[in-house]
Structure 1
Amino acid sequence: MNRDAASTGPRRRCHERCTTVASIDIRFNRLTATEVPGEDTGGLDADHIPLAFPPGRRPQDVPLNGVEAAGVYCKARLASDESVRSSPVGDSTGAVSRPPVIAASSGVLAVARPHFIQGRGYDPFHDAHHQSVAVIGSWTAARPGTLRTQPALFIGNTAFTVVDIFDHIKRMPDLLLSIIIPRTTAEGIWGPPQDERAKMLVSTQLGAASQVAQEAALALRPDHPEYLGALPPPNPKARRNAVSSDLGPLFLLMSIVCLVIEAVGIANTPLVAVMERVGEIGLRRALGARALHITWQFLPESAALGLVGGTAGTSLGTAVVVGVSFHNEWTPVLDVATLAAAPALGLATGLLVGLYSSWRASRIQPVEALRN
């Protein structure tokens, strides 16, 4: 087995671990550091106030620095006998299974950022004028019978015009299986939510989420801020440390196991070299060389192989990390201590695997060596 190629694996995996952890950290930061979920708790008056969000004022209208978009959503309060149909009530062939109907302000679509494949969704105009429009996911639209009378569907006795179909969404993936209608329209038809209280989702700029979470309730309900609650995102540093602490030992253990397996495998190379040079060893012993001299003949060779293999593996691993990072538009993260320690680790591995072969060579008797 080639020593240089064998030493490449652990070094490459060590550097790939650094880049993988860094990319996961960035992903967690982007998804969580700019999102503030909120909920209508109702405070101590929850039984008497079904909807604490102020009517006629949208969360995105609240002057809070750092807020990009915000919206209120809840499950529509449908009666038990109301279903989603593709044709007017009375046509049994048009009935479909009842998907969730979500009453959401237009700001929710701005926060969730669906990818529209048809239409453009609804906007504040539809909210303000209680328009009977709907947005559905492509999976719901593809179900048999959902849009037989397109572009309309019926929720109970009310016809809703489907103004948008989307195939994937950045946030709130549950909306893919739901029918989304304006919040004001749903409240006008079915009233405020009953089984589940309304919720809010806010998208912020980087670094503003914690401040927005502290000020959102007071900005929306200055008279009763206890009616609303907002949850700040997890500390990005704590999340990053948690991910690093989880992945670090795992990849370190994998590297150690691979290193041990490869060290056992490459230990055969010095042994083969000893077996092929038995005649040379016997001749040196016959001319007066001692066991120590034979040991120092083979041990530096094994150490040099380990050092060259470690250096080559480090260089190739660094090139792979930089290349993969460039292809994926990542920022490569390389620890200088790791780069310096990799050749030293290769040297140490070469010394360890060369000890046994050197000891075997020093134990060869000159008479037996010359005889063979």
Structure 2
Amino acid sequence: MHPRDLLNEAMAGLLARPVRSALTTLGTVLGITTLVVTLGVAATAGNQIVGRFDELTATSVTVEVPENPFPLVDWAAVSRVTRLRGVISAAALAESERSANLSVRSNDIVDPTRVTDQTLTVVASSPGLPAAVKGRMVEGRYFDAGHISRGDKVVVLGLHAAKMLGVTRLERAPAIFIGTQAYTVIGVLGDLKREKSLASAVLLPPAVGRRYGLSTVTRVLVNTGLGAAELIAEQAPAALSPGNEALLQVISPPSPTRARDAVEGDVNALFLILGLVSLVVGAVGIANVTLVTVMERVAEIGLRRALGAARRHVAAQFLLESTLTGLTGGIIGASAGIVVIVAVCAAKQWTPVLDVRLAVMAPAAGAAVGLLAGLYPALRAARMEPVNALR
């Protein structure tokens, strides 16, 4: 047989019963869809759940200080935060729009072969910034209270800013220029776990930062011990600005209760989607089987109609059959599901948790699926004429 003739015969066989072929194809489509959805949704939900647990173990608290005619937080307030029980490190930052794009260059010599003039962000900070951003000094050291009290013209560069300016070694105390003012580079800060944007910034002591509008604290970064973030988020505003704590905005990780509820919601949503897809696959299977049954019992349907059965009687018969099929499947499925849950929990030494309402509603859901799946086959059986069916 020629392959073209074989293909034509196969297409003719499919098109001879288009509805039945469509239902059969739909079953395959939904089966593959279930596979893809199961893998995709499981991976997505798994990533979401991991993210929830990452939030749970977070120990970072940020206090945002809004603009105010009078400074709400002074630089010395950071020391009060560090004395709170559970605080590991803390640092204050001052940022402004004026200092967001300043011209910074590594020397005052015009070199056509190198780009020495860069537009960088200039930020003032307290001495504890390296610990607060969970970074390390790649080169040199960070400025301390001595530099601040003396008003030394020193800066620390973020690692990316240092590379942009070509500052690689500090043995000869290189200088950079912010506008026309020269500053000595005493350190390079890198490997930031928090506030990674500071890798491209120039960091100044607070006394020097006043020249660029960086006299007011705008943010306070706090690192806490595991489990202390929620408490510190409540106490930090009062320590930073007594009497004005309501004006400060605190950004903290979610509480363990909220994280647990979020994880539970993600897992329930995942398996609800998978369960609904499985129900649709089951409905297509019932519809397909019921339709085949109608085709095989054409003579019986014709005989019943010839003996006086009305269309509604034939439709009710097949609807009841498909409903009973779904109900039986629901009862068996619920029972098997309970057995599997208990078996898995016994094997894993878990405590089984089962909503009794689910076990009661499962057979009803199976009956409803069977009823909906049998609608089209029942209507098709009811529309048969007795003469045509008997012929």
The verdict on how the C-alpha distance between 1:95 and 1:216 changes in structure 2, with shifts beyond 3 A counting, is: same
Q: Is residue 37 of structure 1 aligned with residue 63 of structure 2?
A: yes
Q: Is residue 53 of structure 1 aligned with residue 75 of structure 2?
A: yes
In structure 2, stretches of 5+ residues that fail to align are 1-23, 345-352
The verdict on how the C-alpha distance between 1:18 and 1:220 changes in structure 2, with shifts beyond 3 A counting, is: closer
2:369 equivalent in structure 1: 349
Q: Is residue 134 of structure 1 aligned with residue 156 of structure 2?
A: yes
Describe how 1:302-313 pairs up with structure 2 within 5 A.
Answer: 304=325, 308=329, 311=333
| Secondary structure of 2:216's aligned partner | coil
What TM-score comes out, normalization by structure 2 length?
A: 0.58
Q: Is residue 89 of structure 1 aligned with residue 108 of structure 2?
A: yes
User: Following the alignment from structure 1 to structure 2, what is the Cα–Cα distance between the partners of residues 151 and 205?
Assistant: 35
1:163 equivalent in structure 2: 188
Deviations 1:188-210 (A, max 9, x none): 54447625621212123455445
| 1:64 Cα deviation after fit | 0.8
| Secondary structure of 1:88's aligned partner | coil
| Secondary structure of 2:213's aligned partner | coil
2:130 equivalent in structure 1: 109
Please point out which of 294, 302, 307 is paired with 1:274. Answer: 294
| 1:37 Cα deviation after fit | 1.0
1:200 equivalent in structure 2: 220
Please point out which of 148, 158, 162 is paired with 2:166. Answer: 148
The verdict on how the C-alpha distance between 1:353 and 1:196 changes in structure 2, with shifts beyond 3 A counting, is: farther
Please point out which of 74, 81, 103 is paired with 2:94. Answer: 74
What TM-score comes out, normalization by structure 1 length?
A: 0.60
In structure 1, stretches of 5+ residues that fail to align are 323-333
Higher Rg: 2
| Secondary structure of 1:72's aligned partner | strand
| 1:78 Cα deviation after fit | 8.9
Deviations 1:159-203 (A, max 9, x none): 31553433xx54334324x3253xxx5235444762562121212
| 1:65 Cα deviation after fit | 1.4
2:13 equivalent in structure 1: none
Alpha-carbon RMSD across the aligned residues, in angstroms, is 5.7
The verdict on how the C-alpha distance between 1:91 and 1:272 changes in structure 2, with shifts beyond 3 A counting, is: same
The verdict on how the C-alpha distance between 1:45 and 1:103 changes in structure 2, with shifts beyond 3 A counting, is: closer
User: Following the alignment from structure 2 to structure 1, what is the Cα–Cα distance between the partners of residues 387 and 371?
Assistant: 28
The verdict on how the C-alpha distance between 1:81 and 1:175 changes in structure 2, with shifts beyond 3 A counting, is: closer
* % identity of equivalent residues: 29
The verdict on how the C-alpha distance between 1:262 and 1:83 changes in structure 2, with shifts beyond 3 A counting, is: farther
| Secondary structure of 1:91's aligned partner | coil
Verify the 8 A CA contact 2:237 2:248 in the aligned structure 1: yes
| 1:150 Cα deviation after fit | 2.0
1:329 equivalent in structure 2: none
The verdict on how the C-alpha distance between 1:272 and 1:173 changes in structure 2, with shifts beyond 3 A counting, is: farther
| 1:100 Cα deviation after fit | 0.4
User: Following the alignment from structure 2 to structure 1, what is the Cα–Cα distance between the partners of residues 187 and 205?
Assistant: 15
Amino acid paired to 2:372: L
2:14 equivalent in structure 1: none
| Secondary structure of 1:52's aligned partner | coil
User: Following the alignment from structure 1 to structure 2, what is the Cα–Cα distance between the partners of residues 261 and 128?
Assistant: 70
| 1:366 Cα deviation after fit | 4.6
Q: Is residue 231 of structure 1 aligned with residue 249 of structure 2?
A: yes
The verdict on how the C-alpha distance between 1:21 and 1:164 changes in structure 2, with shifts beyond 3 A counting, is: closer
The verdict on how the C-alpha distance between 1:288 and 1:214 changes in structure 2, with shifts beyond 3 A counting, is: closer
2:17 equivalent in structure 1: none
| Secondary structure of 1:171's aligned partner | coil
The verdict on how the C-alpha distance between 1:368 and 1:52 changes in structure 2, with shifts beyond 3 A counting, is: same
Deviations 1:244-292 (A, max 9, x none): 999999x989998998899689745533442344245446777998974
| Secondary structure of 1:64's aligned partner | coil
